A and B are shown apart, each in its own frame.
Chain A
Amino acid sequence: MSQTFLRRGLRREFLIPFARIGILLCMAAMFGRVSRAQDKNPFAGNTDAAKVGESQFRANCAFCHGLGARGGGRGPDLTRAKKRHGNADADLFRTINEGVPGTAMPPNGATQQGVGMTDEEIWQVITYIRSVQKKTDAQAAGNAAHGRELFYGPAACANCHMVQGKGGRLGPDLTTTGSARSLDYLVESVRNPSKRLAQGISEAMKEFSQEYVTVTVVDGGGQKYQGTVLNEDNFTLQMMDTREQLHLFDKSKLQSVEETRQSLMPAYDPKMLPEKDLQDLLAFLLATGSAPEVGK
């Protein structure tokens, strides 16, 4: 309740006099203390609460995190023991209630999906997540150090992908992907990148984010560009070509725009990337994904 109160209070900040903001902040501080006092899940280990939590999870979370909390193309696999934004009950509560700035994880109640949850319901969801999460994360079978060599070397991933500020720009930054996606999704993305294109930019209030669609453009002067779509609407196109040049087009001035859901990334079949190397690469991505966030 306290967190909800704080959030709503802040949201109204624009319309209330400054004096009331002061009062609000005092109250928020007061409630904040109460909340911090309750940083343990009151339902820990309670199977009935986990069952109720599963219903809430399905209604509010499964849209991105999938049935069974196993993750998908939008949200991380929550059955992993280690959570990127904190493992403690209080961390999970904060993540659910306040969202994660800079990611697709919205604050409680701010999604298009679901109805928002009370504090009690959030704890029930946490109880559910605890009930399906693994005791320890399976150690990646591969060798992360060799995976790193592959990434920046012979596998040529870094031509298009960046990890911790180093690498190419044409594909998604993979710094946090290891923690944000399920292992199955990672394998699929390497072996068959066109099956599910990566999500790109998310815009204010837009339900579905832009994807890394491949585009070939011929401009008014007959010049041809190929690359990935950064964003587009019916009238404009923002793209990056394979030489990492940005192009911002008015579609009406182009000779042609062809889009395909065939990813520019080659499918790394076992001939190109043997199973052992794949495991090494995954180990590298998982290790990177679980590394401390920059600046923390």
Chain B
Amino acid sequence: MRAPNGDRFVGLKNPREIFLRLGAWGAAVLRPYKRREMKVPLALLCWCFLVAGSLRAQVTPQRLLDSASEPQNWLMYSGDYAGHRYSTLDQITTANASGLVPKWAYQTMAGGKFETTPLVVDGVLYGTGQDDRAYALDARSGRPIWQYQRALPADIRPCCGRVNRGLAILGDKVFLGTLDAHVIALDAKTGNVVWDVTAVDYRGGYSFTLAPLAIKNLVIVGISGGEYGIRGFIDAYDAASGERKWRFYTTPAPGEPGNDSWEGDSWKIGGAPAWITGTYDPATNTTFWTTGNPSPSNRGAGRAGDNLYSNTLLALDPDTGKLKWHFQFTKHDEHDYDATEVPVMIDQGSEKHLIVQANRNGFFYIIDRATGKLISSNAYAKVTWSTSKDAEGRPALDKNGSPTLEGNRVCPGAAGATNWMSPTYDPQTKLFYVTAREQCDIFSTAPQAFEKGHAYYGSAYFPNDDAEPFWGALRAIDPLTGALKWEWKHPSPTWSGVLSTAGGLVFTGDAEGNFMALEATSGKVLWHFQCGASVYSSPMSFAVDGKQYVAIAAGSALFTFALP
């Protein structure tokens, strides 16, 4: 796709152009007919228009598979099934990025962290906000088409803010996972609730914060609540009816493989939530999901064993939820090192199919996508919890790394060397870009009795004020070796994800409120904008009417930028 000729962005995908071309075709077809004879072909033509129109409104499973063929749209959380968060739009380039200007902002008027990645389909932007807001906007102007807010019970207690990261779209519906652990389908044109199903009783500490993933006719979600001693799961719902098709529990019950990795009944309250959107490989019909910490996060006593499938990469059959293989990043975790970072699919030639992940525990993992076997693991940030590797090459806990009653300083801190914010893979530079956090914490552990629905940490962590100041960086990593290519330093640890584009750019934000464009090959900042609040979201890009936009959520506003 070449800029700046706008029509070339959209080709025949633009409904207006389909209409015009069909019109021209219709006129040509009808030319030989006399007026009286025109009835049948005219009806046929009308039918053609209707079908074309309704098909256009539908986001079919095939369109999701072919997302690369409609770069003007952003059809799922990570932009594509591979988790690349890469846009082939190239109107905004390294040559002109310094001329970016704000085009519009949309205010949710809500407090707390604003974590959404919006979707854009054919000129309509679908986003979410704090307290389970959802909205559809005219993507050209930011003007709302509909707004929705869930009436949440007063006693929900999501662990880490009343946040939501986005929607999935399929057919004529968008799908929202809610803080009271429901999955709901909204009509994409009106925001009306089409169906609403309860996944689990939220009073046990369960909630949804992630953007669902649509595969075929299913909507797949993973639960949050690792701070409450939940039993984690991943669910698939029929997009049309809301009927639950399968559930994969992330802590195995007695009789199931892996249950022996838990002490006694600890699996029942073992956590292992799955709160970040997975990826999907259509070639092998496998969906990849990652899980979070075992509960209680800061205390290993009482749950002796590896604690499967906490902090694990799961390869599931999307039709059945059946486990194909698993790889556990951190065994028997005591530092809250959730593996809930997007598992990114990368191919090396036609032979090697990989999953790469910059893990919260500070290591960059390269894993064989067919077998789940570890290929390599190298630190990409400061690490003290592990100083050796096990027989499989997996980083192993150092004997001095465990939390103590009075506290033990360990790197990375509980928020991790990175966290849920998305990395990006740029197939042009063949580099992987990730937000790294250089912050160590003091980890303390103490016995705690489990009480359903109440915070269950097994003690605490807090920042190590006496040591060197905390900082962050955007790091460009060669995903085939894990080697660092360049970094851009942030003054403090940052919660912004990263987007790469075919214009040779990467976009990211910082805790000081800046949103910026960097040259993908060098890390040189070419443009920046002050949003007025720390960025807790991942950017995306779309095009309408031939104009490329970049969007980022910060504070209570969704900002979009484009060339003048």
- Could you list which residues of chain A lie within 8 angstroms of chain B, going by C-beta atoms? 1, 4-5, 8, 11-12, 14-15, 52, 54-56, 58-60, 62-64, 66-67, 72-74, 109-110, 112-118, 121, 195-196, 203-208, 211, 232-235, 261
Q: Which of B's residues lie within 8 Å of A, judged by CB?
A: 109-113, 131, 149, 154-155, 157-161, 227-228, 406-407, 444, 446, 448-449, 451, 454-455, 457, 459-463, 465-466, 469-470, 489-493, 510-514, 525, 528, 530, 532-534, 536, 555
Given known pairs A59-B457, A204-B534, A235-B528, the reply for A116 and B157 (CB within 8 Å) is: yes
CA distance A118 to B448 in the complex (A): 17
Q: How distant is the Cα of A62 from the Cα of B460 in the complex, in angstroms?
A: 7
Taking CB atoms, residues of chain A closer than 8 Å to B532 are 204
| Nearest Cβ on chain B to A1's Cβ, whole angstroms | 7
Enumerate chain A residues within 8 angstroms of B470, measured Cβ to Cβ.
Answer: 208
* Known pairs A1-B155, A204-B532, A204-B555; A233 contacts B491 (CB<8 A): yes
CA distance A60 to B466 in the complex (A): 21
CB-defined contacts of A67 to chain B, threshold 8 Å? 406-407, 444, 460, 462
The answer to whether A208 and B463 touch (CB under 8 A), given A56-B455, A59-B455, is: yes
Residues of chain B within 8 A of A63, CB atoms compared: 460-463
Whether A233 lies near B510 (C-beta < 8 A) is yes
Q: Are B446 and A62 closer than 8 Å at their CB atoms?
A: no
Q: Does B113 contact A54, Cβ atoms closer than 8 Å?
A: no
* A205 and B536 contact, CB distance less than 8 A: yes
Q: Judge whether A205 and B228 touch: CB under 8 Å.
A: no
**Docked CA distance A66–B110 (Å):** 30
The 8 closest A-B pairs by CB, nearest first: A233-B512, A58-B460, A205-B534, A204-B533, A14-B109, A55-B448, A59-B457, A62-B460
Inter-subunit contact A5/B157 (CB<8 Å): no
B555 cross-chain contacts in A, Cβ below 8 A: 204-205
How would you classify the secondary structure of chain B's contact residues: helix, strand, loop or mixed? loop
Q: What separation, in Å, do the CA atoms of A114 and B298 have in the docked complex?
A: 13
| Complex Cα spacing A1 to B155, Å | 8
How long is the Cα–Cα vector from A109 to B155 in the complex, in angstroms?
A: 12
| Contacting residue for A62 out of B228, B462, B489, CB 8 A | B462
A11 touches B465 (CB 8 A): no
A15, B510: Cβ atoms closer than 8 Å: no
B131: chain A residues at CB < 8 Å are: 11-12
Q: Are A196 and B466 in contact (CB under 8 A)?
A: yes
* A208 and B493 contact, Cβ closer than 8 Å, known pairs A66-B462, A114-B455: yes
Closest chain-B Cβ to A258's Cβ sits at a distance in Å of 15
Task: Report how far A235 CA is from B459 CA in the complex, Å.
Answer: 39
With A52-B449, A115-B159, A205-B536 in contact, do A261 and B469 touch (Cβ < 8 Å)? yes
Contacts of A73 in B (CB 8 A): 465
Q: Are B491 and A118 in contact (CB under 8 A)?
A: no
Known: A205-B555, A206-B492, A234-B525. A55 touches B514 (CB 8 A): no
Residue from B113, B160, B449, B491 within 8 A of A234 (CB atoms): B491
What is the bound-complex CA distance between A55 and B157, given in angstroms?
17
- Cα distance A14–B108 in the bound complex, in angstroms: 10
| Minimum CB distance partner of A55 in chain B | B448
CB distance from B468 to the nearest CB of A (A): 9
Q: A63-B461, A205-B533, A233-B513 are in contact. List 15 more A-B contacts (CB 8 A).
A: A1-B155, A11-B131, A58-B444, A58-B459, A67-B406, A110-B111, A112-B161, A113-B462, A115-B157, A115-B227, A117-B455, A118-B157, A196-B465, A204-B555, A205-B536
Residues of A within 8 A of B525 (CB): 234
Chain B residue, CB-CB nearest to A9: B154
Which residues of A lie under 8 Å from residue B451 when comparing CB positions? 52
Query: Which residue on chain B has the smallest CB distance to residue A61?
Result: B460
Q: A211–B492 Cα gap in the complex (Å)?
A: 11
Closest A residue to B454 by CB, please name it. A121
The residue of chain B having its C-beta at the shortest distance from the C-beta of A107 within the complex is: B111
- Tell me the smallest distance from the CB of A180 to a CB of chain B, in Å: 15
Chain A: CB-nearest residue to B458: A55
Contacts of A112 in B (CB 8 A): 160-161
Task: Assess the A55–B492 pair: CB atoms within 8 A.
Answer: no
Q: What CA separation (Å) do A152 and B445 show in the bound complex?
A: 45
Partner of B154, one of A1, A113, A204: A1
Contacts of B465 in A (CB 8 A): 72-74, 196
Does B491 lie within 8 Å of A206, measured CB to CB? no
List residues of chain B with CB within 8 A of the CB of A109.
157
B residues less than 8 Å from A55 (CB atoms): 446, 448, 455, 457, 459
Distance of A54 Cα from B455 Cα, bound (Å): 12
Given contacts A204-B532, A235-B528, contact A5 B513 (CB under 8 A): no
Bound CA span A110–B451, Å: 22
- Quick check: A115 and B513 within 8 Å, CB to CB? no
